[in-house]
Amino acid sequence: MAHFSDLELHERLLKALEHLALDEPTPVQDAMIPLALAGHDLQVSAETGSGKTAAYLLPLLQRLMREPAPNTATRALILLPTRELALQVEKHCRDLAAFTRLTSGAVVGGVPYGEQKAMIRKNPEILVGTPGRLLEHVRGRSIDLKDLEVLVLDEADRMLDMGFRDEVLQLVQACPAERQTFLLSATLAHHGIGRIAEAVLKEPQVVAIGSHRSQHASITQQRILADDPGHKQQLCNWLLAHAEYDKALVFTNTREHAEQLAAFLQSQRDGKGGSDVWQRAGKKRTRVACLHGEMPQDDRKRLMHWFRDGTIKILVSTDLAARGLDVKGVDLVINFALARSGDDYVHRIGRTGRAGAKGLAVSLVAPQEWNLMQSIERYLGITLEERSVAGLESRFQGPAKKKPGDVKRKDRADVGKKQERPKIKERHRDKKNIGKRRQPSATHPAPAPTVATPLDKRESQGLAPLKRKAPSEADKPWAAAEPQKPLKRKPSDDTQKPAEQQKEVKQQKEAKQDKPAKALKASEPQKAVAAKKPKRKIEEGQPEVSAGADAPLKRKLKAKEKDSGEAENQLILPF
């Protein structure tokens, strides 16, 4: 078994390791420290809780001690995704450098800007922080990175998931090209890790110890089915009251759910609503707290401090506490809401069972989370152990399983009736303009010539029956034999007049329009008519008509002219 003394570390670092009771390196430390001391860029992937933080801090401190540079600016920069993780790494760095003259500082959000500038003016060799606040100081020229020697990107996959890609690349561009870079992530298969690695690493050495998908032998993983959020609250309350643990972490997906669950657990602990579960279990004094990203930084820092020293035993949190936090004594992890991905699930349960200790992870699965649970199991290659709580059994027992011989009633009735039929291409042109009672034929034959069909046979051919009407007089067979009588029309005076006489009347109307009605003399139209009137021919055998016979005709013309003149005068008047 290897020891830290075999890794050629500085004696002051070995003294700090001895003070922290760390004697034997983990596999990732044993593989990474020699390559880092040789000056290589490293791309490291290892399961959570494997000791990656000390694996890059020890060679970093060794390099800064071996090459002292008192008159330079920041010499090492460590980027992390969350404030809590940055504060934890900075504390671990101070512990390892306790017997050296190297100093470090944390630059995270939620802290007054002026206080951080005052700390930066003290010129610490190592800065640990989150990308957003570090970039603000670089733009404000509070931090000078021209003398940077080592750059560390820890939990790089998480930083990409949180949207820090642009900030990380801008900080990398502000660093000198001649530097040593460490890139650490839970998986090398992340879709954005490859592009980041190409931008920040030069001929890196790849170190992959285990896999984040590998099953944790020291963690017992169980699942309990629940019907609804209220049922989940009762199950979580029972587990926290009866399970054996030193500290417990409960994960939710949103900060609203975290606050509601923490308030419910506190009310149950205090015995509100007639509940005495906690009192009978002897955990009346157990303190419960809530942690999420919208809390002030001072409150977040205070809660994490109380959780580490044991003042708080139960912490309800979002995924804020799922990455990298190393808290001793966490024996129980409850997934109140199932993680959204397999990677997040691994990081959640990785808060327990650290450094070889035993841990228990319980997931509460609602009906709508069943498929998500199965996808996580397939992704990690595991099967969660089934568990139930007496008196709180779930009505939901998983989706109904189909039997191999189970056939639907419709399918069972159609068995043996299906026959192979030739596939016929259906076209819209063959189906349009087709009545409801007529169906298109399969082969679309050409229409046959129309043949008169008796009315009685129409129904037998599939046609709609015709409504018969009573025969009319025209449809009677004897009506056709009778000769039709010509209709009598009342003769019109204008149509019965000869053509020449009609022409004369038209000329008279035009003349009346040109002259006033009073200027016209009664004798002028009569003379014009008499002058142009054709002589009547007397045929043989017809009696001769005397001149006095035209008197009635003249009287009729005169009366008609008078009537037409009055009508024209009336039309001119306005209404």
CB count in 10 Å sphere of residue 385: 10
The top-level CATH class assigned to 4-209 is: alpha beta
The mean pLDDT of 389-406, rounded to a whole number, is: 80
Look at residue 155 in the predicted model and tell me its pLDDT. Answer: 86
Same fold, 4-209 and 219-386: yes
Look at residue 538 in the predicted model and tell me its pLDDT. Answer: 46
Q: Where residue 430 falls among pLDDT bands split at 50, 70, 90? A: confident
Q: Where residue 427 falls among pLDDT bands split at 50, 70, 90? A: confident
Look at residue 520 in the predicted model and tell me its pLDDT. Answer: 44
Contacts of residue 497, Cβ cutoff 8 Å, sequence gap at least 6? 505
Look at residue 125 in the predicted model and tell me its pLDDT. Answer: 94
Which phi-psi region, left, alpha or beta, contains residue 439 (left: φ > 0; alpha: ψ -120 to 50)?
A: beta
Look at residue 143 in the predicted model and tell me its pLDDT. Answer: 93
Higher pLDDT, 562 or 386: 386
Q: With 90 as the cut, is the pLDDT of residue 76 above it?
A: yes
Look at residue 257 in the predicted model and tell me its pLDDT. Answer: 94
Cβ atoms of 281 and 241 within 8 Å: the answer is yes
The mean pLDDT of 103-116, rounded to a whole number, is: 92
The mean pLDDT of 259-264, rounded to a whole number, is: 93
Look at residue 517 in the predicted model and tell me its pLDDT. Answer: 47
The C-alpha atoms of residue 178 and residue 244 are separated, in whole angstroms, by 52
3-state secondary structure of 282: coil
Look at residue 539 in the predicted model and tell me its pLDDT. Answer: 47
Q: Which of the residue ranges 230-234, 484-488, 531-535, 538-542 has the most confident prediction, judged by mean pLDDT?
A: 230-234
Look at residue 573 in the predicted model and tell me its pLDDT. Answer: 44
- 138-151: pLDDT as tens digits: 999 999 999 999 99
What percentage of residues in the chain have a pLDDT greater than 70?
A: 70
pTM confidence score = 0.63
Q: Which of the residue ranges 361-370, 412-421, 481-490 has the most confident prediction, judged by mean pLDDT?
A: 361-370
The mean pLDDT of 47-54, rounded to a whole number, is: 82
Higher pLDDT, 226 or 277: 226
Cβ atoms of 168 and 79 within 8 Å: the answer is yes
Contacts of residue 315, Cβ cutoff 8 Å, sequence gap at least 6? 247, 248, 249, 250, 288, 289, 290, 291, 303, 307, 321
Look at residue 57 in the predicted model and tell me its pLDDT. Answer: 95
154-163, 326-335, 511-520, 558-567 — which is least confidently predicted? 511-520
Look at residue 540 in the predicted model and tell me its pLDDT. Answer: 47
Domain range list for the chain: 4-209, 219-386
DSSP 330-356: EEEEEESS--SSHHHHHHHHTTSSGGG
Q: With 80 as the cut, is the pLDDT of residue 239 above it?
A: yes
Q: With 80 as the cut, is the pLDDT of residue 565 above it?
A: no
- 298-354: pLDDT as tens digits: 888 899 889 989 899 999 999 888 776 778 889 999 999 999 988 889 888 888 887
Look at residue 4 in the predicted model and tell me its pLDDT. Answer: 86
The mean pLDDT of 414-436, rounded to a whole number, is: 66
Fold of the domain spanning 219-386: Rossmann fold (3.40.50)
Planar angle of CA 199, 202, 204, nearest 5 degrees: 110
Look at residue 522 in the predicted model and tell me its pLDDT. Answer: 47
In one letter, which amino acid is 199? Answer: A
CB count in 10 Å sphere of residue 87: 21
Look at residue 178 in the predicted model and tell me its pLDDT. Answer: 92
- 499-548: pLDDT as tens digits: 666 677 777 777 766 555 444 444 455 554 454 545 444 444 444 444 45
